[in-house]
Amino acid sequence: MASASGSALAAPTTVRTSVHFTPLRGSSGGAAPSGLLEVDGLTLLLDCGWEPPFDVSVLEPLRGVAARVDAVLLSHGDLAHAGGLAYAFARLGLSCPVYATLPVSRLSKLALYDAHEGVAEQSAAGAPFTLDEIDAALSRVSELKYSQTVLLSGRAAGLSLTPLPAGGSLGGAMWRVSKALEEVLFLPRFSHQKALLAAAAAARPAPFPHPSRTPR
């Protein structure tokens, strides 16, 4: 009698995406939140706020991790969310692309210019960042429209970023960060009230297919 032999089929495995968040500032108190979002070893800096009196110790936690940041996402164009950008690129070793809506990009530059002039008038030591350093940092910004998705490449391939209306300020954005079937929403400040120039916050976005997703 012949015997039949065969190998058992292996059960399909599901590869899960690793997501980890580390707060750098704003986890307590009144400071705007800022932190590192790590997705499968890729690191995003979510906002980079710094405000007068521009205490350099506030940004020190960023010094040890700046070199491994793959991208910066800005949610609002004020010092509370973008005030540390020039200093971080010039002095802390940050070197990566920055993503923001066009209004947030332009307002961040105005806020930093204004802060530079204000400190220069009040202190003989001057501001902790120069106008050239502001220009250099903001030259790294890729300006996106609401709901425009950018697919990252290189080491960050497979990660997509989408700004959505957050309300509360002109161009203010919440960020949808997606990889495979995982999705994270970063919204440090939002408002559902529609202002004259600022759109109200978007409702929770419904899932939608994008090029990095395949049906299972």
- Residue range 49-92, pLDDT digits in tens: 999 999 999 999 999 999 999 999 999 999 999 999 999 999 99
Instruction: Tell which CATH architecture fits domain 19-152.
Output: 4-Layer Sandwich (3.60)
Helix (H), strand (E), coil (C) string for 67-111: HHCCEEECCCCCHHHHCCHHHHHHHCCCCCCEEEEHHHHHHHHHH
> What would you measure as the largest C-alpha separation in the chain, in angstroms?
99
Q: Any idea where the domains of the chain sit in the sequence?
A: 19-152
Kindly state the average pLDDT of the residues 180-205. Answer: 67
The CA–CA distances, whole Å, from 109 to 139, 169, 179 equal 10, 15, 30
pTM over 0.85: no
